[in-house]
């Protein structure tokens, strides 16, 4: 079992829909990152969370440390939101390394 | 403020050769980390440097090495290239101190390596 599991793997939605991407992890963490990767490779950091909830524009990220789960929400989705969204966790023991989920490919249709 | 700069952006090598990739972090950032991205394995952590010291290393063979200079620029080297080393190599810088990767990450555009 991977340390970081994302769901769904692929998501297609109509413009304007509310989007939820989930991330579950199995290790103790000190932080969780949500990243966005557009075709061509460039990665942008969206959020870094260690507790609670953060909001930036139409994006909201939440984390429940007890349940080892985080969600990324996109409100009023737009075709420019089409990208791969990646969850990554920073473990809080031993070799503190960043472990990545396999990503969720989001396509927003106009 | 300039972002993270990686060079070269694209390169083609043959098996057995070696390659050196460069990463210039955002000015003032002292932490640089490297990642490999392949279609099969996704993103994987290679190593991290802070103030010229390697702080953490991922599960990669010794053919993969790196270093960081006093100006925080970092290089990674892959020796005796194998076909499976074909990948996008990304670096990220962070302003975090102490638990350095507890800071927000800023990624470069990556160096796409093809091994023939």
Q: Please write the tens of the pLDDT for every residue from A3-31.
A: 899 999 999 999 999 999 999 999 888 88
Q: What is the pLDDT of residues B49-106, one digit of tens each?
A: 998 999 888 999 999 999 999 999 999 999 999 999 999 999 999 886 655 455 788 9
Is A103's CB within 8 Å of B99's CB?
no
Tell which of B3, B43, B98 to mutate to test the A interface (max A CBs under 10 Å): B43
> According to the model, what pLDDT value does residue B97 have?
62
Is B30's pLDDT higher than 80?
A: yes
Q: How far is CA B110 from CA A10, B20, B52, in A?
A: 24, 13, 21
Q: What is the pLDDT of residues A52-78, one digit of tens each?
A: 999 999 999 999 999 999 999 999 999
What is the full DSSP assignment across B43-103?
EEEEEEEETTEEEEE-S--TTEEEEE-TTS-EEEEE-S--GGG-EEEEEEEE---SSGGGS
Is B105's CB within 8 Å of A41's CB?
no
């Amino acid at each position: 079992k991977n340390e970081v599991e994302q769901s769904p793997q692929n998501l297609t939605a109509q413009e304007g829909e509310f989007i939820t991407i989930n991330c579950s992890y199995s290790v103790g963490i000190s932080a969780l990152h949500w990243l966005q990767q557009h075709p061509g490779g460039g990665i942008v950091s969206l959020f870094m969370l260690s507790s609670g909830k953060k909001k930036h524009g139409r994006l909201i990220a939440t984390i429940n440390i007890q349940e080892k789960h985080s969600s990324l929400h996109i409100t009023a989705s737009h075709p420019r939101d089409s990208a791969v969204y990646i969850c990554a966790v920073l473990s809080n023991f031993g070799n503190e390394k960043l472990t990545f989920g396999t990503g969720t490919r989001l396509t927003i249709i106009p | 403020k300039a972002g993270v700069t990686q060079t070269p952006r694209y390169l083609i090598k043959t098996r057995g050769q070696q390659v050196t990739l460069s990463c210039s972090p955002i000015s003032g950032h002292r932490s640089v980390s490297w990642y490999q991205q392949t279609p099969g394995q996704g993103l994987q952590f290679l190593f991290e440097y802070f103030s010229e010291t390697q702080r953490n290393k991922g599960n990669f063979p010794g053919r993969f090495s790196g270093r960081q200079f006093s100006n925080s620029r970092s290089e990674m080297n892959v020796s005796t290239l194998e076909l499976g080393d074909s990948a996008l190599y990304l670096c990220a810088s962070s302003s975090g101190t102490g638990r350095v990767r507890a800071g927000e990450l800023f990624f470069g555009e990556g160096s796409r390596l093809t091994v023939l």
